[in-house]
Chain A
């Protein structure tokens, strides 16, 4: 239980596992590799090449596709002479109109607002880091929120919901998917790329050492 006073070692040379709190010495790892906890195998830190550039690129692609997917027609249905076409925002509006206001807001948040906010924050922070525009304390706040929002951005889950809906009503009417459907597929691809490219360790190192 007893340990030598950490006074000899600088705090910066130590890393605690985010998942089990086990203390490790920080080692210099090779580009493209990751260090994981000796006790619980959780990821400790990574060294991903060109993380800032790639995360920035994927975030910009993501936000363009996201905005397209929200406003363009998403699905259209026809049965005889009647046809209707909806956008993602119409789906949210349907909940709002049926007196399920909070559920409408929750879906709006999960499909539209939170993903847009998260991508905007990422773009802003990555842009400023990429072009060395100086680090401000608000960038750290922005990055915290971008990380915190991640589980609540549910584009991919909405997509599965859409596919299930398609199957459910395929017997009732003829359905076709619109451009927004493919844009949303692109959003899912871009967000997966962000989680692959984003290197938490190097971003936070930049955010905390180059303070303006």
Chain B
């Protein structure tokens, strides 16, 4: 039992109840399909949560490879044509003296996606093999992955803005490269992956309830 006296000491699932994700109404587990109050679909745990998490994560991971290999931005000017990948773009920024912005782009395009792959895979593995890990630290990790994923879209918007703005004909033209497509796909699918992972599963493995 918990120390505070306003809890029942069990989960809703253990009490045979399921919570509506939207309005929070509780239902008897076996009786419902949709919420008696708001009509949303009611489930105790997200269906096939781990399978969906893995599926979306793998697609995100696969898309992240071409995202880094292909150029995300093509620049053509009088002095010749150049192309930038995610990584070379960061290096160029850092070399031109904009170290802070280089760090922002590095965090959004490299650090966040990579750590997301690692964290989600780690969480899913820990659930699958029932590793003995603190629920609280896993809970924090899950909250972080849900919150930070969207920030990876920065690079996509940078390319869109530059491609729209820099259309000076022969003098200087910037066009989006194939890599940005793959990168956006990767971000979207890892966002799906993070939301597919039901945080309640983290606590379900706790032995003493």
Chain A contacts to B: CB under 8 angstroms: 1, 3, 6, 11, 14-16, 18-25, 27, 38-40, 45, 75, 77, 79, 82, 84, 86, 90-95, 98, 100, 102-103, 106-107, 110-111, 137, 140-141, 143-144, 147, 151-152, 154, 157-158, 160-165, 167-169, 171-172, 200-201, 204, 207-208
Contacts and interface: CB of A to CB of B under 8 A. Distances in A.
B176 A162 contact: no
Given A3-B15, A14-B8, A207 B23 contact: yes
A38 B9 CA distance: 10
Nearest to A40: B139
A204 B163 contact: no
B200 A19 contact: yes
B122 interface: no
B24 A157 contact: no
B4 interface: yes
B17 A23 contact: yes
B176 A39 contact: no
Q: How large is the interface on B (under 10, 10 to 19, 20 to 34, 35 or more residues)?
A: 35 or more
Given A22-B11, A24-B8, A158 B167 contact: no
Interface stretch (B36-44, B49-57, B63-71): B36-44
Contacts of A84: 165, 167-168
Given A77-B166, A95-B163, A1 B10 contact: yes
A76 to B, nearest CB: 8
Given A25-B6, A111-B157, A140-B39, 15 more contacts: A20-B11, A20-B199, A21-B200, A22-B2, A38-B2, A39-B7, A39-B203, A92-B160, A106-B184, A110-B153, A154-B150, A157-B157, A158-B157, A160-B108, A160-B151
B6 A151 contact: no
Given A39-B7, A95-B163, A169-B165, A161 B12 contact: no
B13 interface: yes
Contacts of A11: 17, 25-27
Nearest to B163: A94
B15 A6 contact: yes
Contacts of B204: 21
Given A75-B161, A98-B163, A204-B22, A164 B154 contact: yes
Interface string B174-203: 011000110010001001000100011011
Contacts of A140: 22-23, 38-40
A75 B164 CA distance: 10
Contacts of A201: 24
Contacts of B38: 140, 144, 204, 207-208
Contact of A25 (B8, B136, B139, B202): B8
A23 B200 contact: no
Query: Which of B4, B108, B156 has most A Cβ within 10 Å?
Result: B156
A27 B162 CA distance: 53
Nearest to B159: A95
A94 B160 CA distance: 6
Given A38-B2, A147-B22, A204-B23, A91 B14 contact: no
Contacts of B19: 16, 18, 21
A68 B194 CA distance: 33
A107 B203 CA distance: 36
A21 B2 CA distance: 14
A151 B146 CA distance: 9
A151 B164 contact: no
B101 interface: yes
